[in-house]
């Protein structure tokens, strides 16, 4: 059983819930798909950032795995799902936030080629915009290492881990990512885990699980 944790104040809980809703609404209702196998049917946009509010920085953690071993032998190409990165990235950028990217070892993030299929996008034009921005976004080509992101964690106001089966290859048991999840939970900073990424919450030892006592949603097995 999990040890008793101190109760957060109602104000802190309310702020946390509001932040999570702001971060996760685009995922849950179609700004980005919550499943790696369905196309978006709704689009929700975050409200514009007030001019007087200083922009924060949101950390995106992406897989750098390019292939996945299959049960029974063989391998398949993998990586992160582009729509699950691009939609929250674009919504947050449009709302005035800065974006940082981190991967294991600071290796370039790898796109799952399956996510380039038009069935995952609301239109071919949107897919082309996403492909163009991916190529031009320096943070994707030269990301932070997860160790660097962990050392600089106080700089980030939120954490997003897009899905794709690559998450299961090089992020599932990464100690730096686990430390980031624990720290963000302890400091009431919002976390968005998309598609495969909620599996990260299953890998903590007894008594060290972040978000214990919280309700989470996930794709069913």
| 161-185 pLDDT, tens digit each | 999 999 999 999 999 999 999 999 9
The per-residue pLDDT for 209 is 86
Higher pLDDT, 207 or 59: 59
Mean pLDDT is lowest, of 4-18, 35-49, 91-105, 170-184, for 4-18
Those residues with Cβ within 8 angstroms of residue 85's Cβ, 6 or more apart along the chain or in another chain = 32, 60, 62, 134, 162
Backbone angles phi, psi at 146, to 5 degrees: -65, -30
Rounded mean pLDDT of 7-35? 40
Domains and CATH numbers, the chain: 10-46+55-202 (3.40.50.880)
The per-residue pLDDT for 22 is 44
Q: Name the pTM for this structure.
A: 0.78
The per-residue pLDDT for 156 is 96
The per-residue pLDDT for 16 is 43
Distance CA 221, CA 219 (A): 7
pLDDT band at 25 (very low <50, low <70, confident <90, very high): very low
> Is pLDDT at 3 greater than 90 in this prediction?
no
Is residue 30 within 8 Å of 198, Cβ to Cβ? no
Those residues with Cβ within 8 angstroms of residue 99's Cβ, 6 or more apart along the chain or in another chain = 57, 58, 60, 89, 92, 93, 139
pLDDT (tens digit per residue) in 129-171 = 999 999 888 889 899 999 999 999 999 999 999 999 999 999 9
Percent of all residues in the chain with a pLDDT value above 90, rounded to a whole number: 58
| Residue 92: strand, helix, or coil | helix
The per-residue pLDDT for 219 is 60
Rounded mean pLDDT of 113-142? 93
Rounded mean pLDDT of 21-45? 41
pLDDT band at 43 (very low <50, low <70, confident <90, very high): very low
Distance CA 86, CA 134 (A): 8
Percent of all residues in the chain with a pLDDT value above 70, rounded to a whole number: 73
Distance CA 196, CA 124 (A): 25
């Amino acid at each position: 059983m999990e040890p008793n944790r101190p109760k957060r104040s109602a104000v802190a809980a309310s702020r946390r819930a509001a932040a999570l809703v702001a971060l996760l609404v685009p995922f849950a209702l179609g700004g980005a798909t919550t499943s790696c196998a369905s196309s978006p049917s709704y689009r929700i946009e975050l409200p514009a950032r007030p001019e007087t509010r200083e922009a924060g920085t949101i950390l995106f953690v992406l897989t750098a795995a390019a292939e996945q071993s299959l049960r029974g032998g063989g391998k398949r190409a993998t990586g992160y799902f582009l729509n699950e990165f691009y939609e929250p990235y674009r919504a947050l950028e449009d709302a005035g936030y800065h974006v940082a990217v981190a991967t294991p070892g600071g290796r370039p993030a790898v796109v799952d080629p399956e996510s380039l299929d038009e069935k995952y996008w609301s239109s071919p034009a949107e897919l082309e915009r996403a492909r163009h921005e991916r190529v031009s976004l320096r943070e994707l080509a030269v990301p932070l290492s997860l160790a660097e992101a962990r050392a600089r964690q106080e700089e980030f106001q939120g954490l997003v881990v897009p899905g794709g089966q690559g998450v299961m290859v090089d992020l599932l048991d990464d100690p730096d990512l686990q430390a980031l999840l624990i720290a963000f939970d302890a400091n009431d900073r919002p976390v968005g885990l998309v598609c495969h990424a909620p599996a990260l919450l299953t890998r903590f030892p007894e008594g060290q699980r972040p978000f214990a006592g919280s309700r989470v949603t996930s794709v069913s097995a």
